[in-house]
């Protein structure tokens, strides 16, 4: 199975390696920023304007290799409109509970853990070494950065970013489009659009 990758920046590299680790191949890269040259041996095929032509050539599956949440959500919709499916990308070196629910386009990278009855929404991203404990929910296009930890029953709204190394205590809800800075410790509910950092986490200017 050959998979089209959208994005040729930094996140494309672990995505390419995760795809290969599953036994699939990468058909090539689309990126509107122009030709970046080969990325881990994968060729640039043009911009997103090529989606319809590539679908007509028989490519059927795409993975969005973009860390930015809003951009990942937008490109996912663009791919689906062109007739592509967005399979979950689950690195074989991740640990995922059989009772977890993984939606279309979600990604679980190497050494990440997704616990019992956790739910990852469409295009959610659990990055390298992150932990999603039992009964957590990640909304559409939410992003848990490398090494970040969600304790049990945490809820992330759509497009939330919990950055690298941050920790969220059990039962906390974080509203859509909020940002938790690297290394922060969150112990109370976070309203939509808020930006927090520090230990304990406080609003950022």
Distance CA 113, CA 144 (A): 11
Rounded to the nearest integer, the mean pLDDT of the chain is 97
Express each pLDDT in 67-99 by its tens digit. 999 999 999 999 999 999 999 999 999 999 999
Whether residue 119 contacts residue 101, with contact meaning beta carbons closer than 8 Å, is answered with yes
Q: Of 41, 46, 53, whose CA–CA distance to 16 is shortest?
A: 41
Percent of the chain, pLDDT > 70? 100
What mean pLDDT comes out for the span 127-147?
Answer: 98
Containing 114, the helix (H) or strand (E) segment is: strand 113-114
| Residue 187 DSSP SS3 | coil
Q: Is the pLDDT of residue 42 over 90?
A: yes
- Whole-model pTM: value is 0.96
């Amino acid at each position: 199975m050959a998979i089209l990758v959208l994005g040729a920046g930094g996140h494309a590299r672990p995505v390419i390696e995760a795809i290969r680790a599953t036994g699939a191949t990468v058909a090539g890269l689309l990126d509107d920023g122009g030709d970046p040259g080969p990325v881990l041996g994968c060729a640039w095929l043009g911009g997103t304007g090529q989606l319809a032509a590539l679908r007509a050539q028989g490519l059927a599956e795409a993975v969005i290799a973009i860390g930015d949440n809003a951009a990942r959500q937008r490109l996912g919709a663009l791919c689906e409109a062109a007739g592509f499916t967005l399979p979950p990308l689950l690195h074989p070196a991740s640990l995922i509970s059989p009772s977890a629910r993984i939606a279309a386009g979600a990604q679980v990278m190497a050494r990440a853990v997704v616990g019992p009855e956790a739910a990852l929404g469409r295009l959610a991203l659990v990055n390298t070494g992150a932990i999603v404990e039992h009964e957590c929910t990640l909304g559409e296009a939410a992003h848990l950065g490398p090494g970040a930890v969600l304790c049990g029953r945490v809820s992330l709204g759509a497009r939330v970013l919990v950055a690298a190394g941050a920790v969220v205590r059990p039962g906390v809800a974080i509203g859509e489009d909020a940002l938790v800075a690297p290394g922060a410790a969150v112990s109370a509910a976070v309203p939509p659009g808020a930006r927090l950092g520090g230990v304990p986490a406080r609003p950022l200017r």
